[in-house]
Amino acid sequence: MLTNRRLCLAARPTGIPGPQNFSADSVPVRAPTTGEALLETLYLSIDPAMRSWMSEGRGYQQGIPLGEVMRGGGIARVLESRAQGFGAGDIVQARLGWQSHPTIAGRFLQKLDLTLGSIEDWIGPLGLSAVTAYFGLRDIGGLRPNDRVLVSAAAGGVGQVAVQIARIEGCRVVGIAGGAQKCAFVASELGAAAVIDYKSEQDLAAAIGRACPDGIDLYFDNVGGPTLDAALAHLREGARVVLCGRISQTHAAEPYAIRNLARFAAAHGRMQGFLVFNYHDRYDEARAWLAARRRDGSLRQKLHMLDGLEQAPVGLGMLFRGENMGKLVVRLSPKSVATRA
Ligand SMILES: NC(=O)c1ccc[n+]([C@@H]2O[C@H](COP(=O)([O-])OP(=O)(O)OC[C@H]3O[C@@H](n4cnc5c(N)ncnc54)[C@H](OP(=O)(O)O)[C@@H]3O)[C@@H](O)[C@H]2O)c1
């Protein structure tokens, strides 16, 4: 009998989440009923938002009840299908949860179009992080050629795509990242004109001023807090600030108080947040654009791959310690996707 290996939420996080918050078990797989398919998980996307799903309070999504399988999206292969339109061997994406063999209703599955890109492309440059960068820059940020663009967490999953989209569209892009290795990656692999290692700067606002001597038209903010504040000090007339994420504030004891709103007002700035899920109806548009840039070689994507389901909680903690470079993904090992009891 096939077993489904699962990681369930065992304790709500008080600081950076990790293995201490999860319990592992193995249960018999659930045979699909009419309309469902049995899957084997191939890849799981690890995302900062998962930290908020682990909390009790209601964020933009309801917290996960204790004892339930950890929520998370990924890519899987169909093993057995009683869902119309899906057959054994199809590659699908869905909210799989942290488990090796979920059984999920067909209406929640999306078959991947592998003519657009490989399976790994679908978790990377065609995945939700990349789609987030696309809509954040274009729809929220109103990206225009020749914009002077600043991107924080520039070596991460969303950030690396944001840097490249802006560069491809003819903008001068400056990245902010933590550490020399990440900064070298953002400059040499992603093509940023300049990179700021915020961990080695005493005065981040001054460093942004040096890297962006003509100011900022568009700031794509992945981190919030003092980094957002420092960027506001350099806004040009009509600047746009995209509030994509605020990872620096996840574990802050007190919310950071922004100081540079006067500059924001003087620049007639516009600041707007967004959730990528609200663009669901237009994912195909983003993926068509991203796939074309993959084909012509202008869009690169670094995956930070961890092997084995048990690495998922480790990976989640890595995001909050800045230990990932590129899009963090867990690949279920052949062993874990084929375990038989
Ligand atoms: N709006 C949406 O719909 C949406 C969708 C997806 C993601 N997001 C947001 O986008 C952001 C990036 O997500 P991702 O999945 O691509 O993660 P990621 O950038 O791959 O990983 C997180 C990165 O954040 C940086 N970081 C962590 N703690 C920090 C701190 N205290 N101060 C400054 N930087 C810190 C680290 O990079 P450094 O080493 O460079 O510091 C870390 O590698 C997150 O804020 C996430 O919540 C939003």
Residue owning the nearest CA to atom 2 of ligand 1: 275
Phi, psi of 221 (to 5 degrees): -100, 115
219 lines ligand 1 (CB under 6 A): no
* Alpha-carbon dihedral angle through residues 89, 93, 96, 98, given to the nearest 10 degrees: 90
50 lines ligand 1 (CB under 6 A): no
C-alpha distance from residue 136 to each of 4, 13, 17, 168 (Å): 37, 29, 27, 15
CB 126 within 8 A of CB 290: yes
Q: Give percent of the chain with pLDDT exceeding 90.
A: 93
Q: Ligand 1: which of 223, 243, 327 to mutate, most ligand atoms within 8 Å of CB? A: 223
156 lines ligand 1 (CB under 6 A): yes
State the average pLDDT for the chain.
95
Q: Ligand 1: which of 55, 61, 158, 306 to mutate, most ligand atoms within 8 Å of CB? A: 158
129 lines ligand 1 (CB under 6 A): yes
Q: Ligand 1, closest atom to CA 274?
A: 1
Q: Ligand 1: which of 152, 176, 222 to mutate, most ligand atoms within 8 Å of CB? A: 222
C-alpha distance from residue 250 to each of 23, 51, 67, 71 (Å): 23, 8, 23, 19
Question: Lowest mean pLDDT: which of 55-59, 177-181, 336-340?
Answer: 336-340
> Distance from the CA of 175 to the center of ligand 1, in angstroms?
13
CB 69 within 8 A of CB 44: no
Give the separation between CA 265 and CA 328, rounded to whole angstroms.
37
For the chain, what is the largest distance between any 2 Cα atoms, rounded to a whole number of angstroms?
67
For 205-266, give the secondary structure using H, E and C: HHHHHHHCCCCEEEEEECCCHHHHHHHHCCEEEEEEEEECCCHHHCCCCCCCCCCCHHHHHH
Tell me the one-letter amino acid at 270.
Answer: R
Q: Ligand 1, closest atom to CA 304?
A: 20
> Distance from the CA of 218 to the center of ligand 1, in angstroms?
18
The pLDDT score that the predictor gives to residue 59 is 66
The pLDDT score that the predictor gives to residue 58 is 64
pLDDT tens string 2-36: 999 999 999 999 999 999 999 999 999 999 999 99
Which candidate, 317, 321, 311, places its Cα nearest to that of 47? Answer: 317
182 lines ligand 1 (CB under 6 A): yes
Question: Lowest mean pLDDT: which of 20-29, 41-50, 72-81, 253-262?
Answer: 253-262
Angle CA 165–49–333, to nearest 5: 85
Mean per-residue pLDDT for 69-96? Answer: 97
Q: Ligand 1: which of 53, 195, 247 to mutate, most ligand atoms within 8 Å of CB? A: 247
> Distance from the CA of 20 to the center of ligand 1, in angstroms?
22
C-alpha distance from residue 15 to each of 46, 126, 262, 310, 316 (Å): 17, 31, 33, 20, 12
Mean per-residue pLDDT for 89-111? Answer: 98
Give the separation between CA 298 and CA 111, rounded to whole angstroms.
26
276 lines ligand 1 (CB under 6 A): yes
153 lines ligand 1 (CB under 6 A): yes
Provide the terminal-to-terminal Cα distance of the chain, rounded to the nearest Å. Answer: 6
> Distance from the CA of 208 to the center of ligand 1, in angstroms?
19
The pLDDT score that the predictor gives to residue 21 is 98
The pLDDT score that the predictor gives to residue 340 is 32
The pLDDT score that the predictor gives to residue 336 is 41
pTM assigned to the model = 0.96
Query: Which H/E stretch holds residue 195?
Result: strand 194-197
**pLDDT reading at 327 higher than 70:** yes
